[in-house]
Amino acid sequence: MGPVALDANVLIGFLDSTDALHARAVDTLGSLLEAGAEVVVPASAYAEVLVHAFREGEEDQVEGLVDHAPLTVVAVDRPAARLAASLRASHRWLTLADALVLAVAQSRRAELVTFDEQLGRLATSSPR
Contact call for residues 14 and 26 (beta carbons, < 8 A): yes
Domains in the chain, CATH or no CATH each = 4-112 (3.40.50.1010)
Averages of pLDDT over runs of 10 residues in the chain (128 residues) are: 93 94 96 94 96 91 90 95 96 96 96 96 82
Query: Is residue 32 classed as helix, strand or coil in its secondary structure?
Result: helix
DSSP 51-75: HHHHHHT-HHHHHHHHHHTTEEEE-
Tell me how far CA of residue 107 lies from CA of 3, 29, 38, 103, in angstroms: 11, 21, 15, 6
Query: Is residue 2 classed as helix, strand or coil in its secondary structure?
Result: coil
What pLDDT score was predicted for residue 34?
93
What pLDDT score was predicted for residue 52?
85
